[in-house]
Amino acid sequence: MKFYFALQYRRLKHYLREIGINPYITFVIVIIVFVLLSNRFFQKIAYAYYIYPFFAIAILNSFGNKKRNEFLKNCFSVNDFRKIRLLENLLVFTPFFLFLLYKQQFIIAFSVYVIGALLSLFNKVNKFNFVIPTPFYKFPFEFTSGFRKTFWIFLLAYMLTYISISVTNFNLGIFPLIITFLTSMSFYFTQESIFFVWINSEKPAGFLWEKIKTAIFYSILISLPISLSLIIFFSDRAFIVMIFEILGALFVVTSLLGKYAYYPLEISLIPGFAIGFSFLFPPLLLVIISYFYSKSKQNLGSILL
Amino acid sequence: MIVIKSLNKSYGNKIVLKDINLSFKRGEIVGIVGENGAGKTTLFKCITGLENYQGSIEYDNGIIKNTTGFLPTNPYSLSRITGIEYLQLLVNARKIKTSNLKDKNIFDLPLNQFADTYSNGMMKKLALTGILLQDKEIFILDEPFNGVDIHSNIMIKEVLSKLKELDKIIIISSHIFSTLNETCDLLHYLKNGEIIRSADRSEFEMVEDEMKGSIIGNRIDKLGLK
Per-residue tens of pLDDT for chain A, all 305 residues = 778 888 888 888 888 887 777 888 888 888 888 888 888 888 877 777 777 888 887 777 667 777 778 778 777 878 888 888 889 888 888 998 899 888 888 888 888 888 888 888 876 654 556 778 888 877 778 999 899 888 888 999 999 999 999 988 898 899 899 999 999 999 998 888 888 998 888 899 999 999 999 999 999 999 999 999 999 999 999 999 999 999 999 999 999 999 999 888 877 777 777 888 888 888 899 999 999 999 999 999 888 87
> Chains A, B: CB contacts under 8 A, how many?
67
Of A87, A124, A119, residue with least CA distance to A9: A87
Q: Note whether B76 contacts A: Cβ–Cβ < 8 A.
A: yes
d(CA A65, CA A119): 12
Distance from CA of A93 to the nearest CA of B (A): 27
- In angstroms, the Cα distances linking A39 to A100, A105, B36 are 11, 14, 56
Query: A259's torsion region: left (phi>0), alpha (psi -120 to 50) or beta?
Result: alpha
| Terminal-residue alpha carbon distance, chain B | 52
Suggest the residue from A141, A186, A303 to mutate for an interface test with chain B (most B CBs closer than 10 A).
Answer: A141
44-63 of B, contacting A, C-beta below 8 A? 48-50, 63
Contacting residues for B104 by C-beta, under 8 A, at least 6 apart: B87, B98, B129, B132, B133
Distance from CA of A301 to the nearest CA of B (A): 12
d(CA A239, CA A247): 12
Distance from CA of B144 to the nearest CA of A (A): 17
Of A296, A295, A289, A290, residue with least CA distance to A275: A289
Distance from CA of A77 to the nearest CA of B (A): 26
* Global ipTM: 0.74
pTM for the model stands at 0.74
2-21 of B, contacting A, C-beta below 8 A? none
Cross-chain CB nearest to A305 (options B49, B79, B95): B49
Quote the strand ranges of A86-125, DSSP E: none
Helix (H) or strand (E) holding B224: none
CB B15 within 8 A of CB B190: no
Domain spans in chain A, listed from the N-terminal domain onward: 1-127, 129-305
Provide the 3-class DSSP secondary structure of residue B80.
Answer: coil
CB A173 within 8 A of CB A164: yes
Contact between A141 and B134 using a beta-carbon 8 Å cutoff:
no
Chain B residues closer than 8 Å to A141 by CB: 78, 81, 85, 89
